[in-house]
Amino acid sequence: MKLVSAIIKPFKLDDVREALSEIGIQGITVTEVKGFGRQKGHTELYRGAEYVVDFLPKVKLEAAVDDAMVDQVIEAITSVANTGKIGDGKIFVAPLEQVIRIRTGETGPDAV
């Protein structure tokens, strides 16, 4: 199994959730995060004063998926979250050694 983590623009969350649902991904965890990459923040004007926003608001999605589904998940996220502009985000894939459902004690893919 793999843990797929994606950092995306907040307004793309509903589109990505729907795309993942269509390919059979049943559960995701969503966290509001802040950060920067090549975008390196930007300058905003508020009440006549200029200030620098160093960390940009993003959304982090995490889904535990079976090895066979990883490529489909990556394709679904990239096709929907892509705006063609800087700051679209990143996808990270990491191995999961063990997954356990607390309520039933199920392990592995059955626990997801």
Average pLDDT over residues 62-83: 95
The mean predicted confidence, pLDDT, of the chain is 89
If residue 79 lies in a helix (H) or strand (E), which one and from where to where? helix 70-81
CATH number of the domain encompassing residue 100: 3.30.70.120
Q: What is the pLDDT of residue 37?
A: 77
Structure tokens at 76: 């679904």
What percent of the chain lies above the pLDDT cut of 70? Answer: 89
Average pLDDT over residues 71-77: 97
Q: What is the pLDDT of residue 46?
A: 67
Q: What is the pLDDT of residue 41?
A: 61
The total number of structural domains that make up the chain: 1
Average pLDDT over residues 19-26: 94
What would the pLDDT profile of 24-62 be if each residue is shown by its tens digit?
A: 998 999 999 988 777 666 666 667 776 676 778 899 999
Residue 50: domain span: 2-111
Cβ burial 41-64 (10 Å sphere, 16+ → b, else e): eeeeeeeeeeeeeeebebbbbebb
Average pLDDT over residues 65-87: 94
